[in-house]
Amino acid sequence: MPGASESPAHHRVSRTRRPIRPRGRRVGGRGRDILRGFDGNDLLDGRQGNDNTFGVGLSMPLRVFDRNQGELARTTAEIERTQALREAAARRVLAEVDVAITQVTSEWDKLLRLHDVYLPKAQRARDTVEFAYRRGGASLLDFLDAQRTYRETTLEHVRALGNYRTALDRLDAAVGYSGEN
C-alpha cells in the first residue's frame, strides 16, 4: 500500500519501473569499470509524463592522496643525482687526460733537448778531452771529469726516456687504450 506521503502516481511509477541494467559488458579493472552498451531509454521506461530530461554521470579519480608522489619525487632526485655523478666523473676523466697529455708533452720536450743538444755536446767535450789527454795536453783529472759528465748526461737521457714512456702509459690508461689490437 502506498504510504501517506506518496501520491498514487508515484506509487504506480515505482511499481512499473524496471531496474536499470547495463546492456553490455564491463571493461577496466580496479575501480575503473566502464559500462559498454548502456541505453539511456532504460531511465525512461515505465515513466508516465512529459519529462524532457536526461542525466549523465561522470566519474574520475582525483589524485589528492596519491601515494606514488613520494616515490616519483625520490626517483626524480635519484635521476638528478646520477646525472650529476656522471658529469663529475666525465670532468675527472677529462682532467686526468689533460694532465697526462701535459706530462707527455713535457717529457717529450725534455727528451728531445737531452738527445739533440746536451748529449752531443757532452760527447764532443769528452772526445776532445780524451784526444788532449792522449796527446798530453790535458790531465787525467780533466779526462775523468769529462767522462763523468758524459755518463751523467747519458744517464739523464735514459731517465728522460723512461719518464716519457711512463707518461705515455699514463695517457693510455687515462683514455682507456690497452695496447692490444
Residue 77 has a pLDDT of 93
Mean pLDDT across 24-45:
49
Residue 49 has a pLDDT of 55
- pLDDT at 19 > cutoff 90: no
Encode pLDDT of 45-85 as tens digits. Answer: 555 555 677 777 777 766 666 677 778 889 999 999 999 99
Residue 162 has a pLDDT of 96
Residue 36 has a pLDDT of 47
Residue 70 has a pLDDT of 78
107 and 164 Cβ atoms separated by less than 8 Å = yes
Residue 35 has a pLDDT of 47
What is the pTM assigned to this prediction? Answer: 0.54
Residue 149 has a pLDDT of 96
Distances (CA, A) of 78 to 22, 33, 40, 91, 152: 47, 35, 50, 20, 58
Q: CA-CA distance, 82 to 95, in Å (whole number)? A: 20
**Number of Cβ within a 10 Å radius of residue 107:** 19
Encode pLDDT of 105-162 as tens digits. Answer: 999 999 999 999 999 999 999 999 999 999 999 999 999 999 999 999 999 999 999 9
